[in-house]
Amino acid sequence: MNAAQLPPVAPEVTATLVEDLSPRLRKRLDATVTKLGARPTHRVGDTVTIAVDDETEVRLHAPGGVVATTDAITCGCLLAPACVHRAAAACAAPTADPAPELADQPTRAVPEPVSATDSAPTPDSASLLEAASPAQRAAADALWSAGAAVLEAGVDGAGAVTQSALLRAAHTARLRHLPRAAGAALSVVTLLRAARAGDPSYRTADLVTALAELLGTAHRVGTASGAELAAVRGRARRPYRPDGSLRLYGLFTEPVVTDSGHGGVRTWVAGSDGRLCTVGDVAPGGVGRALGVADRAVRLGDSALTHRELGRAGLAVSGATVSPDGRLGAGKGVKAVTARGAAWTELPLAALWETPPSEQAARALRSTSRYADPDGGGSDLLFLDVELLGAVREPGGTCLLARCEGGISVRLTVADDDPALAHRDNLMLLATAPGTRLRIIGRLVPALHPRLTLLACSHPTGEGTIDLGLDRLRRADLPDPAAPVHPAPLQPEGSGAHSPLYLLERRVEQTVSAGRAALGMLGDVTAETRRIRRAGLPTAAGLLTALCTSAAQRDRDLFGRLLPADTDGFATYWLTAARYTADVAESLCAAAWEPTQEGPAASPWLQP
């Protein structure tokens, strides 16, 4: 059984079922979750049935697509309803939460999950200027304790009981108008389940980010006020605000395929002022749906344009609504008609390529920061004029090397390796044409050297543009072979290319994977801290020492018995180290985009 075959379960439902178990049954819960995961399921209407054995079934009833009450999960065994099977089924199912790209859309391809925030009143603007209420601080404390328990146990020890504590804390936080921290808690649960299930898409770094976001936001609730508190609280729904009439110009369309099985496209457009917006269509279906939706009509007003066509055309929109992250709403009051587009070399689009790469990278970093305000807006796209230099081998594969303004060497990689998409084939073909000059659009990849995933480019012959995930280049599209190109040596990858910061980063990740006790058994880390100090990072060295010391520290009482570990103190050291490494890595990434000593070069697009 795949967890995706089960309907999502509301966090409070899972938490209640686990809390109602006896201590004896809680010990059996993780094993039962694993057992149910291997059992067959079948769906009839709104009900999914799991065959526990030849005689017993668990049923999950999900009207509207979500299991919203404890009574909606039933079991046919003799111990029901006090059995372990109901709780195990809830723990095996996904946690109800709006899917990426679908949340907040006025027009939906799938039903919207039920959430406690749907009926909860929204605090008025005056209340946002006050300090957090006692109930909010108590909810934040519960979130902190649940997050600290994950650090104590590590992935292997953070089973269903630990996860249910996170779900209960998340539910309470939503009721107390703390949706940002609640969302982080749900992300931690989802990643813990992925890690424990051996999901190939799981990355420890993602769990580090989610856990640090949870702990950091929970901590700030008790200290923030005014606008900072409003940002820490976050929004239960990212509302679409009215934006009047807009004149939009298409840029490109990219396929969207998520690990959760959703697929579709996102079309990027720019306003007359250069502001970027998107029109998306993503729903369950994977890569097959992504390829099909590209040629479907855009869900916006009366426009008959497909997504591919919109990426090269224009729209005149009245009654527009836009979310904080730039998504265009498709409500009934929105009117849109087809209009003339603009070439990338024409205003207003040409202005996107006039900003120096270093400034674009700094702006993109503010958007992609691991701990950025979710409502901060901004884009992670870069618009560059480049000269292709050829393929470069890396430990993870091959990428395309290019040089942009300022003599900066940029590594261009594929956005998605799925062979059904055109990304990989197009990049490999472009790598055979060194010396070609292109205008490109890419997404910043935070790294210690300039790096982008390549999304779109001007056609190598100069006519039109290419959506690199959807359109397939042919060798005939490349310029005629010219004299061999001898590119300049690859520039150093910035001052942090070989930074020993990873020595602290791996201890931060090791804590998440194995728990506090495993870190405490490392012993002496003097050699590592000495190396970090020699690289000019004394704060990192101090944090590594403090983190490992706190992990190993266990005091004893007057009778020599071990006292409980200081989980709060250790969580504070871990959070500080996690946030510090993220901030330093982002600073090193920004520095790598500064022009080289060769000085700024003229844009290759403007050269004859």
Instruction: Order the strands of the 57-61 sheet from edge to edge.
Output: 41-44, 47-51, 57-61, 73-75
Pick from 408, 348, 366: nearest CA to 384: 408
How far, in Å, CA of 589 to CA of 591, rounded?
5
pLDDT at 269: 95
What pLDDT digit, counting tens, does each position of 577-599 carry? 999 999 998 888 899 999 875 44
What pLDDT digit, counting tens, does each position of 372-426 carry? 666 556 689 999 999 999 998 888 788 999 999 989 999 999 999 899 999 999 9
More confident residue, 188 or 122: 188
pLDDT at 284: 81
The mean pLDDT value for 73-79 works out to 93
How far, in Å, CA of 587 to CA of 29, rounded?
44
pLDDT at 25: 95
pLDDT at 247: 93
Beta strands in 66-129 (DSSP E): 73-75
Q: Which DSSP string corresponds to 351-412?
A: GGGSS-HHHHHHHHHHHH-TT--TT-----EEEEEEEEEEEEEETTEEEEEEEETTTEEEEE
Answering whether pTM is above 0.85, one says no
pLDDT at 372: 67
3-state secondary structure 397-451: EEEEEEEECCCEEEEEEECCCCCCCCHHHHHHHHCCCCCCEEEEEEEECCCCCCE
How far, in Å, CA of 440 to CA of 465, rounded?
9
pLDDT at 224: 87
What pLDDT digit, counting tens, does each position of 155-203 carry? 999 999 999 999 999 999 999 999 999 999 999 999 999 999 888 878 9
Tokens of 142: 């519960």
CA dist 368 → 34, 90, 325, 352, 401 (Å): 35, 33, 12, 19, 23
Phi and psi at 287, nearest 5°, equal -65, -30
Q: Give 360's pLDDT tier (boundaries 50, 70, 90).
A: very high
Q: Which residues is 264 bridged to in the sheet?
A: 256, 282
The mean pLDDT value for 487-496 works out to 44
pLDDT at 1: 59
What pLDDT digit, counting tens, does each position of 28-70 carry? 999 999 999 888 999 998 899 999 988 899 999 999 889 999 9
Mean pLDDT, all residues of the chain: 85
Q: Give 153's pLDDT tier (boundaries 50, 70, 90).
A: very high
Instruction: Give, in degrees to the nearest 5, the angle at Cα 265 between 262 and 268.
Output: 140
pLDDT at 159: 95
pLDDT at 124: 43
Task: Look at phi and psi of residue 104 and say left if phi exceeds 0, alpha if psi is from -120 to 50, else beta.
Answer: left
Q: Give 498's pLDDT tier (boundaries 50, 70, 90).
A: low
Pick from 294, 274, 245, 235: nearest CA to 117: 235
pLDDT of residue 556 exceeding 90: no
Task: Look at phi and psi of residue 64 and say left if phi exceeds 0, alpha if psi is from -120 to 50, else beta.
Answer: left
Asked if 579 and 585 count as a contact pair (C-beta separation under 8 A), the reply is no
Q: Give 447's pLDDT tier (boundaries 50, 70, 90).
A: confident
More confident residue, 602 or 76: 76
| Location of structure tokens 């503010």 | 366
pLDDT of residue 211 exceeding 90: yes
How far, in Å, CA of 164 to CA of 17, rounded?
9
pLDDT at 260: 64
Q: Give 603's pLDDT tier (boundaries 50, 70, 90).
A: very low
